[in-house]
Structure 1
């Protein structure tokens, strides 16, 4: 069940588009802002508001890698594993993150602070390797910078 604040925000997004269905991505983003992930119940509620089937909403939610269909930590680390990042040191970053956080891709650390996910491209191949924490993009990352970087999200 959606909160009144979520319904109000989604109705606002609906008011900005010519057809309710066109607000599906923005509606899912509203859910993410409030809950950090989109549950099956939320998919059903969004579908009802937008006059769509739950399968249609889920197909959108599961297509985009920044819409989380499972619980995630308070901060999500997207480590770019494109060929450019791979060549420029992705493997060392991945190993360092695994060691520091004691998690692998798709996992969340024990205190629920970080979830580590692969990302096929962050769009900064000329500054590889790269990673993104929440909405913050880091380029030309070296393993020795990670500890200071992660401390910012304590």
Structure 2
């Protein structure tokens, strides 16, 4: 394997790791660490409000802190990384969202999930800043809503 192929694979893995980490931090409610995944001038369009622009890391942090406290599980799949350059990439992924009415107080507590399941996607534009990948733009969307029994 050529060195350039290994470099490409490493960058793709770093991009996937960033997107996966951001989703895990979202489910854990670790807002500051999640906001730090975004560029200082990053932009977020939430899946639940795909036309509402949240601009800047500070505003993104505030938007996460304003979220209702609830248990969520974002299952991420079908991640595809496209490198535009050594410092720019796009990651497209599918997401399935399950949520409950409140946050589980500990690892031993099970929270009943709501009947609705949302299926959508994230399109993340990433850039490398000071040697680290960050999210420059996250566009979320919801394409399917399964309405189960409540």
TM-score, with length taken from structure 1? 0.28
Query: Greater RCO between the two (CA within 8 Å, min separation 6)?
Result: 2
Q: Return the structure number with greater helix share.
A: 1
Q: Return the structure number with greater strand share.
A: 2
